[in-house]
Structure 1
């Protein structure tokens, strides 16, 4: 059975500025890591057919539940589609020996102008069963809050 997780938020910034933050590696390492995680790209190529490898590291290894190592998640992603100013679609895999983490999740980020700013919608389709729905929802909302903090200041 497949699972889809969603999160959205209105950000008080124009759509072009919000979209730019979805495809800029410096911005992504600022807002994408949820909670107290940090991130760094080992490679980054934002174009359809391009890819990236992102290492997410937990600030406190004592409370980490890393998918790749005890304190980190490694994400391998491929850009499936980029519609400038509208949508970014990625095929995302966590590097893990745990079969419950296996499988390609499709992440779709969409932006649309609304009164007061830009609505940002995150949709994750085919979420692997080893990713807790509650933890994933928390992570998606945390990333959106980070994006708002980056762009609304």
Structure 2
């Protein structure tokens, strides 16, 4: 049985080159990728195929209802750049730093950029979600990240 897939897309009010820069600049990426009220910390970044990044996402202090995958308030991920087509597409191979068996396994997120009227259409295609990651939560998190990305550009 194939593992779940989610897709989220949004028009970002910026040219593809500017959006690409927001994907490949660790100081910008850490500001918009954490969904919703989460914050991020970039631990390492190597922007070439075979490289990648390691990032922690933190749930807000005092917020209830969330259990971090790595620690009480933290989701730490290791992301390998599986493929890069500059200005068009990047494929992230994502592993959670966790002891939870249901969250083990590599999921793939393909981030695609398409020129569109009014900016760039950015799509997150998440495939092979681990069994412990609810597809609805993954899709909502992707939408929230894309909303923050649009906000980075004033949208």
Structure 1 length normalisation: TM-score? 0.96
Q: Distance in 2 between matches of 1:96 and 1:110?
A: 28
Aligned to 2:42: 41
Give the number of equivalent residue pairs. Answer: 153
Aligned to 1:57: 58
Matched, 1:19 2:5: no
Which whole-Å deviations, capped at 9, do the CAs of 1:24-43 have from their partners, x for residues lacking one? 10111110000111111111
Q: 1:107 to 1:126 in 2, by over 3 A?
A: same
| Contact 1:61–1:70 under 8 Å retained in 2 | no
| Contact 2:5–2:135 under 8 Å retained in 1 | no
1:2-151 to 2 correspondence within 5 Å?
A: 2-63=3-64, 64-151=66-153
Q: 1:121 to 1:25 in 2, by over 3 A?
A: same
Q: Distance in 2 between matches of 1:11 and 1:73?
A: 26
Q: Deviating runs (4+, > 3 A) in structure 1?
A: none
Q: Distance in 2 between matches of 1:145 and 1:74?
A: 21
Alignment RMSD, CA only? 1.1
Which whole-Å deviations, capped at 9, do the CAs of 1:90-113 have from their partners, x for residues lacking one? 110001111110110011001010
How many Å apart are 1:68 and its aligned residue?
0.6
| Contact 1:9–1:120 under 8 Å retained in 2 | yes
List runs of 5+ in structure 1 lacking aligned partners: none
Q: Distance in 2 between matches of 1:9 and 1:77?
A: 22
How many Å apart are 1:132 and its aligned residue?
1.3
| Contact 1:61–1:71 under 8 Å retained in 2 | no
